[in-house]
Chains A and B, each alone.
Chain A
Amino acid sequence: MEEKDILIALREAFPGVVLETEMSFEIPVIRIRASALPAVAAFLKAEPRAFTMLLDATCVDFPDRPERFEMVYHLFSLAGNTRIRIKAGLPAELPEIGSLASLWKNANWLEREIFDMFGVRFSGHPDLRRLLMYDGFEGHPLRKDYPLRKRQPLFVKREAL
């Protein structure tokens, strides 16, 4: 399916959800309302759009924007050989977005990493815990307000038996 047709279909199926679209170096970028993410993702994954692969998911922290956390998802269609980028903004207070773990299996780890690094929560995630950092680590290191050289004890002190 052409990018244009995908957009038209998306706007028809979800009126008011698509906020903005643009092209970024041959990749169509669609900014949507965060609440609609799982539904939009499921729509794009289904035939005939067939974006069967969740290529990547990440987050960008913009502390000065009202929607501080920008979620960035890259989907890929093997059949059409096209990539698409979906973005959704989340507020600074209690950022939360629907999990895609039921749609793609790798979303489990990707979302755990985003939770770990940015503190974004994913509703419906089966096992939301840190991925790269350890239990007992405080804060979310990729947030812009986390100092670069901040040190934390690597081991949590064990309580006396």
Chain B
Amino acid sequence: MTTAFQAEARPESLLINMGPSHPAMHGTIRILLELDGEKILNADAEVGYLHRGFEKTCENRTWWNLLIYTDRLNYVSPLINNLGYALAVEKLCRLDVPERARWIRVLMSELSRISDHLTCLAAMAMETGAFTAFLYNMKAREYLWDVIEQTTGARMTTSYIRIGGVRADLHSDYEAAVRKGIEETRKVMKDVRGLLDKNPIFLGRTRDVAVMDKADAVSYGWTGPALRSTGIAYDVRKAHPYSNYDRLSFDIPTGDRGDNFDRYLVRMAEMEQSLRIIEQCLEPLRRARLEPAASSVRLLEPVEAIKAGRTSPPAAPVRLSPNLEGAERRVLPEIQTADPRYALPAKEAAYGTIEGLIGHFQYFMKGHGLRPPAGEAYAAVEGGNGELGFYLVSDGSDRPYRLHLRAPCLHVVSALTGLIKGRLLADIIPTFGSMNMIGGELDR
């Protein structure tokens, strides 16, 4: 079968496929190229190789269940996706989130943003030959992911930010880990800047390559670092503040040329701002130590508590699984909404009292549980790539009628072919790298 692309090509041109399996095609994307020597005469991008039917699946999962699928959208910054979804549902439910949970959300978002930018720049640098920068960035990311892992229990598929709050309180040692992460990231950023900023090879492949002007960037719906590199200071965190972003001081770095190098610079500058935000989060998150659980009392095993709970509430506290660390009843009011329609009851109650057990079952039973009122809502957060928006339609049942994700990198990647036409084959690599295409988010 001859495609339109093939039919339009000149007979003497060379047609090649770049991808879908190509080391520089992050995830999977296929770029069809019509070449004259090394010059690109025409190009067409084919996406969808990572399409999992995210939106269709979500329509068939409960509001609670589908959270795990949001981890797999932009898998480098899953916490921001969790947050975007949670905010959209909270908007629909008119739900308020406790103060501490809001600060934790900001902290986690910024850690994710830095790791997202680090990964993007690492790949971009590596593909242009700077392997050292790749390794340095990955090293810094490890320190940040240590913080995330310590608290959420996972590196990538976190499912940590939940509707109505967060799953668990921060790990007791998190502050030391964050400080270590900040310090190491600053070091790495200094080193990487030293390696790349004046590097003639890197400059040659990025400076004034794939220049995007302001009007086109807006017309393509660009947001995030890609839009800001053209000089437009639009950032969802400033324009439509959510969580506690309106109470933090940070700048929006912008570029002026809109080329690959500016996209690199903007991401570097944004990481610095994110570190600033993280430092500001530490103070409000500090608090007087919570009363430690009394160690002299023998804790009841869950099975004992259930047995005792048949007649009266058990006398001693229940021993919880280590998986539930940070989600004990005494910390829940600070990290989760108290509204029983939307919040999961405390595990101690589920083990110890019949009311708690009923509450727990009801939360997970088909047709019960979390049911936002009928209506529609659009909520957006600033993701690693730009405005990550969730458009939800609820019919009042326990699963969404329609869930649509505004994937920022779809808009960015849709401009790819326009940027590389007329340029050289080698320019695709840094251009595509600077777009930070994430297959999970683009193809859904």
Contacts and interface: CB of A to CB of B under 8 A. Distances in A.
Interface of A: 24-25, 27, 52-56, 58, 60-61, 72, 74, 78, 81, 83, 85, 104-106, 108-110, 113, 117, 127, 130-135, 141-142, 146, 148
Interface stretch (B67-75, B407-415, B422-430): B407-415
Interface in B329-380: 375-378
Contact of A108 (B91, B376, B414): B414
Contacts of B378: 24-25, 27, 74, 83, 85
Chain B interface size range: 35 or more
B391 A148 contact: no
Interface in B198-218: 216, 218
Given A78-B232, A106-B414, A141-B53, 5 more contacts: A55-B387, A105-B219, A105-B220, A105-B221, A106-B220
Nearest to A130: B48
Contacts of A132: 47-48, 51, 443-444
Contact of A58 (B51, B221, B391): B391
Given A24-B375, A132-B443, A109 B414 contact: yes
A72 to B, nearest CB: 7
Contacts of B221: 53-56, 104-106
A74 B268 CA distance: 30
Interface stretch (B137-145, B255-263, B398-406): B398-406
Contacts of B91: 25
Contacts, number: 87
25 contacts: A24-B375, A24-B377, A25-B377, A55-B389, A56-B221, A56-B389, A60-B402, A61-B402, A72-B404, A74-B389, A74-B391, A104-B221, A105-B219, A105-B415, A106-B220, A106-B414, A108-B414, A109-B410, A131-B47, A132-B48, A132-B51, A132-B443, A132-B444, A141-B56, A148-B57
A110 B408 CA distance: 12
A60 B401 contact: yes
Lowest 5 A-B CB distances belong to which pairs?
Answer: A132-B48, A106-B221, A109-B414, A56-B406, A132-B51
Contacts of A25: 91, 377-378
A25 B376 CA distance: 9
